[in-house]
Structure 1
Amino acid sequence: MVICASHQLTPFMVLIALTALTLSGRLWPSRLPLIAGVVLVLWLVFPASTYLAGHPPLADAGLQTAIEANVVDRTNGTPGHLLVVQVRMGLTLLLWALAAVGTFRDWRRGRLDIRVLLLAVAPFLLFPAQSYGGEMLIRVSLFALPFVAMQASSVLLPGNVGYRPSFRAAGALVLTCILFAVMTVTGRFGNAQYDVFTDDEMAAIAAVDHMAPPGSSIISADHPTPWRNQDYLEHRYRTIEDLCPADLSAETCGPLIYGYARHNAAGAYLLLLRSSESSLIIQGQTTATGLGELEDWLDTQVGVELAYSNADARVYRVGP
């Protein structure tokens, strides 16, 4: 029950894994998947029914849709961002390739643990079921990672007890570890420009939380924003990317943001952080010039005033 209430995907992953282990005869009691399925259905029918009314689970199902959202739509942006994405994909594919070799090696030696293999493969059943905002492949990779890593490490282990590797084998092991280390650091911290928040950005968030009255809307440039940590139910949270999914130009996006902000009974606060703006620029959705023109347009509108600013953030108050 705790897993069902904690995350949208984890209970489905648990159900798939339990079912796979049960069908293979590696899990007892066999009624455990049934219990997990009943708990999941009860959660969806009752506590989660309001959310599901506007978010059908299979609304964007399909392999082609999943590939476009998780692969095609992510391979765009600045050259540096594309390099980071390519390194992440390469790291994942390299790890899966090593896992495949390790699985074959264990099978040849008669020591393959079918449970590890099932738990490594089972998450991929989720991939065509839901694009998950373009993050399903990432989630699938994370669910499978412990078991994929276990099979991949089998390639690096000695074949027999007492085996002493040659200098060539030892050198290959060292080079492999160095390659993984470099790719991991690059893939993890390559997007730090919008993954890491400064003290000034956190101060701007605190200022907005203090200024915004209940019922007001808080609008950020993009989703990499450290907000919603207090008074979550008292505000409406939107992003410029949500309000203007097709065009972020001042002529098109400006009126949409301004109109949305003005129609809130308690007004709105436009939060422009260095990190969230960098996210839009790095991922190729706009340019620094385009964002500057959008901000200048909004700044000249009736009822808009600069309420807070520092080196990494600006907050505009929009009167109702």
Structure 2
Amino acid sequence: MRVALAGGVLAFAALGWWRRRRAGVTDVSLVVLTCVPFLAFGMQSYGGEVALRVFLFAVPGACVLAALALFPAAARRRRTLAAPLAALTAGLLLAFGFLVARWGNEDFERVRAGEVTAMDYVYAHDRPTVKLLWMSSDTLNNVTPALPWEARDMERVLYEPTLAPRDAAGVPDLVKSLRAAGPNAYLLVNRGQSTYLELSAGYPTGWDARMRRSLSTSPDLRPVLTNDDAVLYELKSKPPGPAPAPRPGPAGPRVTWNPVSVVGGLAAVLLLVLLTVRELTRVGMRAGVRQLRWMQGSFWFAMPLLAVLGAVLVWRLATMS
């Protein structure tokens, strides 16, 4: 459904561009707005999520072009009901299709009351620090839990992914990970993350209930909090030694710059001011000879600023660590 919705919007955008072009209108600005976000495929490292970001940034221009697929001309002598009915149908499909597509994520992204209770228990027992182990299908790449985490005490609670076993035979590995986490550590099994594992990582249906039973029968673990949405486990015999002290980061935002970035920032500000004034002049004033000469001169003055800004961005991308 997600792919169909995204592909349908882009297909309608292409149809709108084609119909407007047949009507003698190029709509260059809308085409640029729709196509430029696709450059992110070669400029970012989001992995598979880059397609989502590209689509979100392309949607404003694409939606206008898609609407123009239904109403390609600015005015018509003959009015029919075909275009309004097509627009109503497209709107209903997008609205209700969005609910269907969004629910796939909502089933594991929504916040459950029992999970909030489990996190409140962790925050109440995080002195001096605590490690919270949560179930992950890939501890290197899947590092964002479906959990209401990091609400407070961010310098005291360390969230650590641990590989979720597909069957009860992996319980000893969880116990080993919990023991390596230190004296003040908990293992969390929650419905949101379990649902994510079943829907997105191919874990068997009912994995949450079977894993809870296996962990509850382990002689090394005991549940310290249990509800319908989450269970917290700790070791019956904790490893010796104190928990590490909290290590908060520096207070306030850190703003760093160097001469090159300052030059780039000034070039960006001047470029924005120049282009804004130029556009206001073009739209709000009559295009006399003097105005046309000023606009042409401002265009060529803007090119060096754009070159400086582009060079600074390239330098920044090449040198950032």
Candidates 251, 267, 292, aligned match of 2:184 = 267
Rounded to whole Å, the distance in 2 between the matches of 1:107 and 1:206 is 59
Q: Which runs of 5+ in 2 are unaligned?
A: 137-144, 240-321
1:175-203 deviations in Å (ceiling 9; x for gaps): 22222222112112344321212222222
Q: Does 1:209 align with 2:209?
A: no
The answer to whether the 8 A contact 1:102-1:151 is kept is: yes
Q: Which has the larger radius of gyration?
A: 2
After TM superposition, list the pairs within 5 Å mapping 1:142-181 onto structure 2.
142-157=56-71, 159-161=73-75, 163=77, 165-181=79-95
Rounded to whole Å, the distance in 2 between the matches of 1:213 and 1:285 is 37
Q: Which runs of 5+ in 1 are unaligned?
A: 1-86
Residue 147 of structure 2: aligned partner: 225
Give the paired residue count.
229
The answer to whether the 8 A contact 1:250-1:290 is kept is: no
Q: Does 1:317 align with 2:234?
A: yes
Letter in 2 for 1:272: V
Highest RCO, 1 vs 2 (Cα 8 Å, sep ≥ 6):
1
Letter in 2 for 1:295: R
Letter in 2 for 1:235: V
Letter in 1 for 2:181: N
TM-score w.r.t. the length of structure 1 is: 0.63
Letter in 1 for 2:147: T
What SS does the corresponding residue of 1:306 show, helix, strand or coil?
A: strand
- Percent identity between the two aligned chains: 28
Q: Which moved more, 1:283-292 or 1:179-188?
A: 283-292
The CA deviation at 1:221 is: 3.1
Residue 301 of structure 2: aligned partner: none
Residue 283 of structure 1: aligned partner: 200
TM-score w.r.t. the length of structure 2 is: 0.63
Candidates 179, 185, 203, aligned match of 2:99 = 185
The CA deviation at 1:262 is: 0.8
Residue 215 of structure 2: aligned partner: 298
After TM superposition, list the pairs within 5 Å mapping 1:8-87 onto structure 2.
87=1
The CA deviation at 1:162 is: 5.2
Residue 65 of structure 1: aligned partner: none
Rounded to whole Å, the distance in 1 between the matches of 2:173 and 2:13 is 49
Rounded to whole Å, the distance in 2 between the matches of 1:167 and 1:257 is 64
Call closer, same or farther: CA 1:258–1:164 in 2, change over 3 Å.
farther
Q: Pairwise CA RMSD of aligned residues? A: 2.5
Rounded to whole Å, the distance in 1 between the matches of 2:147 and 2:116 is 9
